Amino acid sequence: MVNVIRTHDGFILRILWTSKNNLAEVRMTAIKFSIYISVFCLGTFGLIAGGMEQYFKEIFLGMISPLVIGVLSIFYIDDIQKKSPEKMTNAMLKMFVGKMIFYGVYFIYVFTFYTFTPVPFIISFSGYFITLHVCEALFLKSIFTNRQ
């Protein structure tokens, strides 16, 4: 339901509110959320790399693995939540261990086989890693809030 309030200077303020009965309609799907974070990551990558072309490869390698792993984990979490919510903790623990093993192997691979400046890679990876994990936590919060 949308309430429209007209302010004293003529601007219209629209307030969207929902009741508990139609809260599920507001829930963001995993596909839509993944598209949003992908567009955000690729957009920020383009802006940053456009200003620093000499670090294009480092910034891309720092962005792509957290993005791919983040999108895959969002789909995995959403799938587990829909199929059997009681297995969420176990699935998230396995996913965490798998992520850490993957990131360790990824770092070893990147630093062994690529010649580049490591500082932009580490800054890019850290920034995207933290941002995408915060986004993933917010997605988890929305899943658990909407399911109750």
Q: How far apart are CA 122 and CA 105, in angstroms?
A: 15
In a domain, 21, yes or no: no
In a domain, 4, yes or no: no
Which class for 122: exposed (0-12), middle (13-18), buried (19 or more C-beta within 10 A)? Answer: middle
Task: Provide CB contacts within 8 A for 132, sequence distance 6+.
Answer: 37, 41, 66, 67, 70
Q: How far apart are CA 147 and CA 23, in angstroms?
A: 10
Chain centroid offset of residue 39 CA: 10
Query: pLDDT tens across 51-64, in order?
Result: 888 999 999 999 99
The helix (run of H) or strand (run of E) holding residue 57 is helix 56-83
| pLDDT for the residue 146 | 66
| pLDDT for the residue 5 | 52
In a domain, 17, yes or no: no
- pTM for this prediction: 0.76
With a pLDDT cut of 70, the percent of the chain lying above it is: 80
Q: How many domains does the chain have?
A: 1
Section 1-28 average pLDDT: 49
Amino acid at 96: F
Which domain range does residue 53 map to? 28-147
